[in-house]
Amino acid sequence: MQITYYAGAADAAGTTSAQLDAGDLTAAELLAKLSAGDDKLAGVLACCSVLVDGHPVRDAEERIPALARVDVLPPFAGG
């Protein structure tokens, strides 16, 4: 999986992108893997939106294919 972090999620992850070598995962499993051992990142991911190949994930049990492109977007303040 190719993971791209944006804004505050990138700050918390310490990177804008990562490659995750895993099989198919649920959205909940993916977020748990991404934040394992990192409480700051876990806190940010808890309020982020996740897009898989451009489509929003709305269910934590949704399956994400191993070869998916995943975008992690924190809430944005707008003006």
The domain segmentation of the chain, as residue ranges, is: 10-73
pLDDT score for 8: 93
Residue type, 40: K
Which pLDDT value is given to residue 25? 97
How does pLDDT run across 7-65, given as a tens digit for each residue? Answer: 999 999 999 999 999 999 999 999 999 999 999 999 999 999 999 999 999 999 999 99
Of 70, 19, 16, 9, nearest in space to 40 by CA: 9
pLDDT bracket for residue 78 (50, 70, 90):
low
The Cα 55–Cα 53 span in angstroms is: 6
pTM, entire model: 0.90
Q: What CATH number matches the domain at 10-73, 2.60.40, 1.10.8, 3.10.20, 2.40.128?
A: 3.10.20
Amino acid identity of residue 8, one-letter, is: G
